[in-house]
Amino acid sequence: MSDIDLDFTIARLGECRVPSPMSGVRFTRDDERVLYHARLEDLKPWLDKRADPPAMEAAGPREKIFFEPPPLACGIVTCGGLCPGLNDVIRSIVLSLYHLYGVKKVYGFRYGYEGLVQRIGHVPLELTPDSVARINELGGTVLGSSRGPQDPADMVKTLEELKVGILFALGGDGTLRGAQKIAEEAVKRGLKISVIGIPKTIDNDVSFVQKTFGFETAVTEARRATYAANTEAEAARNGIGLVKLMGRDSGYIAAYSVLVDSQVNFCLVPEVPFTLERFLSELKQRLDSRGHAVIVAAEGAGQDLMAKTAERDASGNIKHGDIGIFLRDAIKDHFKKRGVEISLKYIDPSYTIRSVPANPHDSAFCLLLGQSAVHAGMSGRTNMVVGFWNHQFTHVPLSLAVSQRKKIDPAGALWSSVLASTGQPADMR
């Protein structure tokens, strides 16, 4: 999609006529915008034409809102894999609805979109400030989660019967597509239901969103694995520490783990293909020159090197081959054949990096995300996600957020810094 075609228009349920019950705050005007491009040279085409450059709506409380707080009921659902901070966002939404707007009815739908389908039988929780008071101290999600879509007609029927005016959906790509379908189904039936997505992905791969919650905590946890790998590698002759980290299609966790302490010598991500021969020959050179090596591989890296599988998970994602085990065996085999003794330690921290509670910085981020989501819903915005762009909270149409996955640009600044940090060749093909 070219920048010229970007349409950041946010759908609205109708005119905002109700004065906000909030006082003593800085209200955000509807015309406040956050620039999509942050660099002057990228803005040039618009500046030359004296046209408005692409920009996103700024998030924040509005002076006039769409919904009358009571008798409004709201719902929250968490879908997909776990992510640090899910409970922080749930808590923030409940506290903001209660304390900032006086909304007293908040349903917590259980086990993802399943909880919105009555015939499956999960009874929704009633969430109150008391029931969510300390859930931020826990990893996981108090609502439970699941993968996979449900029929939008069934889900909207539930929302209609419970008189839910705003649904907050926390999830990644598949969840946000589901949220889009719910919003469209509500419009089709003439219902005034706002659907607000909150991007949740440990892989940090949602487009038009600079950073997703929990990512920072996951990188912090991953550092324990890279630290151990480096310590083990340094302590042995021809020591190799190999770490596999999450990152199905986007290698951000792996890339940032490398930048944490510059002790990693090879970073393998899905975005940058490599051949086994070249990688192994570079690894040999590294051992010859320095006596040890640390490798970080994102789970989606090097998939073309392994036998393809047609299997998919409930979200429709292709199930990847295990690059960690593949590399472990290939490295051992390679050096054995050459009569070189190595000491390889393989570490797969897997779910441990995403099941922990959020760190304080992520918690603060989650609190602000939840507040922004509530302000957006109360103002009748719909079919959108709360984003974070150029260090500001924004509104992004769901259609844009799901239009493509955000990936590391192999020609961009992040990957260039990773290469500078590892010292690996830019091209290992």
Give the number of other CB atoms < 10 A from CB of residue 261.
Answer: 12
The nearer residue to ligand F6P, 320 or 395, going by C-beta atoms, is 320
Active-site choice (88, 173, 203, 205): 203
Under rule CB under 6 A, residue 114 binds ligand F6P: no
State how far the alpha carbon of 336 is from the alpha carbons of 229, 289, 293, 342, in Å. Answer: 21, 19, 17, 8
Helix axes 360-378 and 86-95, enclosed angle (nearest 10): 40
The per-residue b/e assignment along 286-303, b for 16 or more CB within 10 angstroms, e otherwise, is: bbeeeebbbbbbbbbbbb
57 vs 173, beta carbon nearer ligand F6P: 173
Q: What is the three-state SS of 139-201?
A: CCCCCCCCCCCCCHHHHHHHHHHCCEEEEEEEECHHHHHHHHHHHHHHHHCCCCCEEEEEECC
Q: Which of 112, 247, 357, 380 is the binder for ligand F6P (CB under 6 A)? A: 247
203 lies in the binding site for ligand F6P (CB under 6 A): yes
Q: How many residues bind ligand F6P (CB under 6 A)?
A: 11
Judged by CB under 6 A, which stretch of 117-125, 151-159, 241-249, 391-399 contacts ligand F6P? 241-249
**Nearer to ligand F6P among residue 106 and residue 218 (C-beta):** 218
Segment lying near ligand F6P (by CB under 6 A), choices 13-21, 124-132, 156-164, 240-248: 240-248
Q: For 190-238, where are the E strands, in sequence order?
A: 194-199
Q: Does 58 bind ligand F6P (CB under 6 A)?
A: no
Binding mask 277-306 for ligand F6P (x = CB under 6 A): ----------------------x-------
Q: Which residue from 202, 254, 342, 398 is in contact with ligand F6P, where contact means CB under 6 A? A: 202
81 is a contact residue toward ligand F6P (CB under 6 A): yes
Catalytic residue status for 203: yes
Minimum separation from the CB atom of position 247 to ligand F6P (A): 5
Cα–Cα distance for residue pair 113/180, rounded to 1 Å: 13
User: For ligand F6P, which is the closer residue by CB, 129 or 148?
Assistant: 148
Q: Is 319 helix (H, G, I), strand (E, B) or coil?
A: coil
Q: Phi, psi (5° rounding) for residue 231?
A: -60, -45
Up-side HSE of residue 354: CA atoms within 13 Å toward CB? Answer: 21
Interaction of residue 60 with ligand F6P, rule CB under 6 A: no
Q: Which of 373, 324, 348, 365 is nearest to 217 (CA)?
A: 365
214 is an interface residue for ligand F6P by CB under 6 A:
no
Interface stretch with ligand F6P, choices 46-54, 133-141, 242-250, 266-274 (CB under 6 A): 242-250
Nearer to ligand F6P, 34 or 209 (CB): 209
Interactions with ligand F6P, residue window 299-338 (CB under 6 A): 299, 313
301: three-class secondary structure by DSSP? coil
Q: How far is the CB of 86 from ligand F6P (least distance, A)?
A: 13
Q: What does the longest C-alpha to C-alpha distance in the chain come to?
A: 78
172 binds ligand F6P (CB under 6 A): yes
Backbone angles phi, psi at 252, to 5 degrees: -65, -40
Show the DSSP H helices in 50-137 as ranges. Answer: 86-95, 129-132
Positions touching ligand F6P (CB under 6 A) are 81, 172, 201-203, 246-248, 299, 313, 354
Active-site annotation, residues: 203
